[in-house]
Chains A and B, each alone.
Chain A
């Protein structure tokens, strides 16, 4: 089993630690500015497109575009 999976594959309630974000540099940069960067933990609240995640204490609605790849390391669920 691979240790990483794409962010959107997290199940509702599952926590993941961001391992890598790749894609077009300015897009990746923007995610960094919004608080999505390597090492940060996200909780999936509602899966699907768009999904709802919790990040550093606040909730975000998030829809990834095709050019981006966000890999997370799944941690324990709630």
Chain B
């Protein structure tokens, strides 16, 4: 080993696994302990994040492995199996832990010790960290730590992680723990159960030696196999677990039930009995049922009427802040990127490299960065609301509504956030424990009308929807169209969620249980840390992919780029340029003009020349675009998009907007000969779109049904590389982003088709 910090000769890195119920302060402790933090992506094949940190105590190196919060070590899914596998050293991509650090909430000892009872069965040196000691004493809970430690047989360390109180004594304890060999008391499982475990162990041994592998299953997993009816251990393809053995397992369960120890109740009974033994006399709690400040606040905040009204007010403030803070920041980012690409164009010679830097790389970087303000601001609020304890109340209030769709209240905030941007929305689905609910939420979140759709809507509505108003200007057709598009997204999302819950992700909805934590004053440090963590997760998890896609699309729009094309187009304008020159010459030769008149005429000429130059450069840009691979793709798909009322140029702009929807506006600008840099409020872009005709005819490309079909398409499509990249990151699989793209694009196509064809019945074109 090369590390210079290892002072002790021959000492190696000791691996510590952090285990605990959700919301016990495990991440807070992890961040307080670790000097160096590392997110190393996901564990293979699952959505569990691999978080590893390092800390040095007295020259000894410790690696901290953070595990997802869990109530129990009884795995029900591949995700939950990861935790068990890491603890048992069966997960090959992390070192087998030497020590388990079990973080428990001191104010909820009874339930938290259930997990501890499982942890100590694993046979590893264990430390129990009693976190949130402040909350415990606030609740009038008094603990006899020495007694508890003696009973448990493992070190017990009081802590207040968020204020770093007790951190030093925990650190001092660590080096000694490694020496600890004897471990805690046996759990009081009935003898009948133990016998069944021994029996099953030998059955498994036989089966596995028959298969010639000789691999043995750790005792803990044998117990799980017996206890977890319908659990993941049955299906996990473990050594020796054959269908014959599974039959033995159900026979064993039947025998246990006959003996009066039915599975799974025997586990709860035994463990809670053990917990009671541990706590008896070690915990003195005054009254549980005092009315606390939290209870008093909840009378209002969870009230059906007042609570809901307050919730709406909170959401209005959050979204108002996004619009007032994020939009200017996004504009600023776009300006800076625009300025940079302008500077590049000014200093570099024309050519592929300049275009790559200015239109490919910079535009790509811009399309990644432009998401950051919304992500940071949204996560600031989400973290703030969660830290102060309000989020669970919001989920409670919205549960009734979301349940109708087949989801739970926890899906509400992610879906609402998606109205700003689907990327933070999808990232915030991590709070949803149920895997199916989380996936459904991820799949429908991109249907919510995000802010990137607005430029498309603004342009097309202003250009094609008549500005009719009723009720003294209060009700306008343009506004109604916008509203209809928002509703279209929402209604489709609801229907899609309903459908997915009944088909693709069918299964019994588990009972929904959510803790309602005590209200507390949020720590700004934690809020800011969580905000930055999410920003970084986006940049590292999706940034590169978005950049690559942006560069690919740039290449498609740029190449093959034959150099002679530009001169050919310019040659077509030679006569006009020459005419201007001639007029200038003529002006010089004319001597019957006053100085002022001459100046005015010269200015006029200069202006005309400027206009002509701009026209030439957009004609060149358009000519290059027309022979690019992108345009060929546009021609190629024209038969497919014709039924939607689109010509090849619209098809082409839609393809180019794959990295990000809003790009379609700029591409339409280029392709309809307006040059770059047109935005959705440009009057000339609207004019051009209105007057564009089908090649060789007088027939207009755009009419109201075409504009509507294009807008419906953008309402429903998945034209956003960032969203697809973040879905890939969050689900750790390519299958879900591909599925999302396919289902949304199909919906978009069908929606646009119906819109156009129905529209044409009215327009009669």
Residues of chain A at the chain B interface (Cβ within 8 Å): 24-35, 37-38, 43, 45-46, 49-50, 52, 54, 56-65, 67-68, 78
Taking CB atoms, residues of chain A closer than 8 Å to B114 are 33, 35
Taking CB atoms, residues of chain B closer than 8 Å to A27 are 508, 510-511
Asked whether any CB of chain A lies closer than 8 Å to the CB of B430, the reply is no
Asked whether any CB of chain A lies closer than 8 Å to the CB of B110, the reply is yes
A34–B392 Cα gap in the complex (Å)?
17
A28–B513 Cα gap in the complex (Å)?
13
Taking CB atoms, residues of chain A closer than 8 Å to B179 are none
Q: If the complex has contacts A25-B230, A26-B230, are A65 and B508 also in contact, measured as CB distance less than 8 A? A: yes
> Which 3 pairs of residues, A with B, have the shortest CB-CB distance?
A32-B268, A63-B512, A33-B72
Q: Chain B residue with minimal CB distance to A43?
A: B289
- On whether the beta carbons of A29 and B111 are closer than 8 Å, the reply is no
Taking CB atoms, residues of chain A closer than 8 Å to B508 are 24, 27, 65, 67
- On whether the beta carbons of A65 and B514 are closer than 8 Å, the reply is no
Taking CB atoms, residues of chain A closer than 8 Å to B672 are none
Interface size class of B (residues with CB under 8 A): 35 or more
Q: Give, as a whole number of angstroms, the nearest-CB distance from A50 to chain B.
A: 5
Asked whether any CB of chain A lies closer than 8 Å to the CB of B228, the reply is yes
Q: Chain B residue with minimal CB distance to A37?
A: B268
- On whether the beta carbons of B511 and A26 are closer than 8 Å, the reply is no
Taking CB atoms, residues of chain A closer than 8 Å to B743 are none
A60–B511 Cα gap in the complex (Å)?
12
Choose from B399, B511, B516 the contact partner of A59 (Cβ within 8 Å). Answer: B516
A10–B269 Cα gap in the complex (Å)?
25
Please count the residue pairs between chain A and chain B whose beta carbons lie under 8 angstroms apart in the complex.
121
Taking CB atoms, residues of chain B closer than 8 Å to A68 are 511
Besides A46-B302, A56-B111, A65-B511, 5 other A-B contacts (C-beta < 8 A): A29-B267, A58-B516, A61-B409, A62-B514, A63-B512
Asked whether any CB of chain A lies closer than 8 Å to the CB of B74, the reply is yes
A71–B497 Cα gap in the complex (Å)?
32
Residues of chain B at the chain A interface (Cβ within 8 Å): 71-72, 74, 76, 107-108, 110-111, 114, 139, 227-231, 263-265, 267-269, 272, 285, 288-289, 294, 298, 302, 392, 395-396, 399-400, 403, 408-409, 508-516
A70–B139 Cα gap in the complex (Å)?
29
Q: Give, as a whole number of angstroms, the nearest-CB distance from A70 to chain B.
A: 9
Taking CB atoms, residues of chain A closer than 8 Å to B110 are 35, 56
Taking CB atoms, residues of chain B closer than 8 Å to A31 are 511, 513
- On whether the beta carbons of B267 and A34 are closer than 8 Å, the reply is no
A66–B227 Cα gap in the complex (Å)?
23
Q: Chain B residue with minimal CB distance to A68?
A: B511
The contact sample of 9 A-B pairs, CB cut-off 8 A, is A24-B230, A29-B228, A29-B268, A30-B511, A61-B396, A61-B513, A63-B512, A64-B511, A67-B508
Q: Give, as a whole number of angstroms, the nearest-CB distance from A21 to chain B.
A: 9
- On whether the beta carbons of B229 and A26 are closer than 8 Å, the reply is yes
- On whether the beta carbons of B285 and A61 are closer than 8 Å, the reply is no
A63–B267 Cα gap in the complex (Å)?
24
Q: If the complex has contacts A26-B229, A29-B74, are A63 and B399 also in contact, measured as CB distance less than 8 A? A: yes
Q: Chain A residue with minimal CB distance to B141?
A: A57
A56–B527 Cα gap in the complex (Å)?
29
- On whether the beta carbons of B74 and A58 are closer than 8 Å, the reply is no
Q: If the complex has contacts A26-B76, A31-B511, A33-B71, are A57 and B267 also in contact, measured as CB distance less than 8 A? A: no
Q: Give, as a whole number of angstroms, the nearest-CB distance from B230 to chain A.
A: 4
- On whether the beta carbons of B231 and A59 are closer than 8 Å, the reply is no
The interface centre, meaning the residue of B264, B268, B288, B408 with most chain A CB atoms within 10 A of its CB, is B268
Q: If the complex has contacts A49-B403, A61-B514, are A54 and B392 also in contact, measured as CB distance less than 8 A? A: no
